[in-house]
Amino acid sequence: MAKVSVTSVELPPRPQLFDFHGVSMTNIFTDNWENIQNFQARPDDILIATYPKAGNTWLSYILDLLYFGQTSPEHRTSLSIYLKVPNLEVAIPSLQQGTEMLDNLSTSPRLIKTHLPVQFIPKSFWEQNCRIIYMARNAKDSVVSFFHFERMALIHPEPGDWNSYLQRFMEGKMVFGPWHDHVSTWRKKKENYSKLHYMFYEDLVEDTGREIDKLCCFLGLSPSAEEKETILGKVQFDKMKTNDTVNHSKYRGMDLKKSSFMRKGKVGDWKNHFTVAQNEEFDEDYKKKMKDPTLQFRTEV
């Protein structure tokens, strides 16, 4: 079947959540399951893993610039990030599936985006001992960002109103499952998998340069001071917001009248959404679910 571009594709109706091996998912991310599970990772592949809305696009763009910013041909800089860093699990009808895009990707290393919980990662990534970067974002800002995203992202379920959305987030009935399990089980994986760099969105906001240095250390890269300055300039929120290759503004699947992909990029926007009562209930629920004292999130910087 001829594949059309993501800027012109006719979209299916909004999908429904269903239970998939114990995790809420939609068919957009499970239809290609056999190919996902049999995906052949290469030793130099780099997996960029996050729960939805934790800054995957930001990290993907940083890595793309670190690896290919200096050397890539002119045409590459005008390619959308979803083509340069394909999403492993995505399978939108009539579009190329993530695994197919990755099989056709000619870069080395391949940069690969995923939101899958750790137990769903294809086994070849572990077998090939690939480098994996996991970025986590605090739960309150994650749910706010996810809510606005699902209002506009037509390949996601209808979010409903804010209060019911927040309840559903606490119940873990979100695409890719509960936030609490996602961030905790990925963190646990660090105990027996050394090639996992676990980082926080809040730290990247606080000091992007410092976090890029840590990333480079993990990846074995040593960009010049000038290269680093150039990258820092390009990955600022305001710069990315007006950059069509990363702001998803050309993607038909986003109803830009409802929100924007590069929405606020802040730590603490949850304060503009949570009522006092919602905040108390959320904190109570959080305490019951997040028992690991070594996994601490900042809700303001």
Binding site for ligand PPS (CB under 6 A): 50, 52-58, 141, 145, 148-149, 205, 235, 237, 240, 262-265, 269
Question: How far apart, in Å, are the Cα atoms of 291 and each of 184, 285, 297?
Answer: 9, 11, 12
Distances (CA, A) of 269 to 226, 242, 276: 33, 21, 14
Of 55 and 122, which CB lies nearer to ligand PPS in the complex structure? 55
Q: What residues act catalytically?
A: 115
Minimum Å gap between C-beta 156 and ligand PPS is 9
Q: Which residues are registered as beta bridge partners of 114?
A: 49
Q: How far is the CB of 95 from ligand PPS (least distance, A)?
A: 16
For 67, 115, 238, 285, the CA distances from 244, given in Å and listed in that order, are: 20, 22, 12, 39
54/196 with CB nearer ligand PPS? 54
Closer to ligand PPS by Cβ: residue 50 or 99: 50
Shortest spacing between CB 165 and ligand PPS, in angstroms: 14
Is the CB of 129 or the CB of 242 nearer to ligand PPS? 242
| CA pair distance 91, 32, nearest whole angstrom | 6
Strand partners, 19: 24
> Which letter, b or e, does each residue of 230-260 get, where b requires 16 or more Cβ atoms within 10 Å of its Cβ?
ebeebbeeeebbeeebbbbbebebbeeeebb
**Nearer to ligand PPS (CB atom), residue 128 or residue 259:** 259
Instruction: Give the sign of the dihedral formed by CA 159, CA 122, CA 68, CA 226.
Output: positive
CB of 149 to ligand PPS, least distance (A): 6
CA distances from 127 to 116, 118, 182 (A): 17, 14, 21
Q: How far is the CB of 180 from ligand PPS (least distance, A)?
A: 17
Helical ranges in the chain per DSSP H: 33-37, 56-68, 74-77, 81-84, 98-103, 123-127, 139-152, 162-171, 179-189, 201-206, 208-219, 225-234, 237-241, 276-289
Is 14 or 128 the residue whose CB approaches ligand PPS more closely?
14
Taking CB positions, which residue lies at the least distance from ligand PPS?
Answer: 265
What's the min distance (Å) between Cβ of 291 and ligand PPS? 25
From 220, 219, 223, select the one nearest 234 (Cα to Cα).
223
In single-letter form, the type of residue at position 212 comes to I
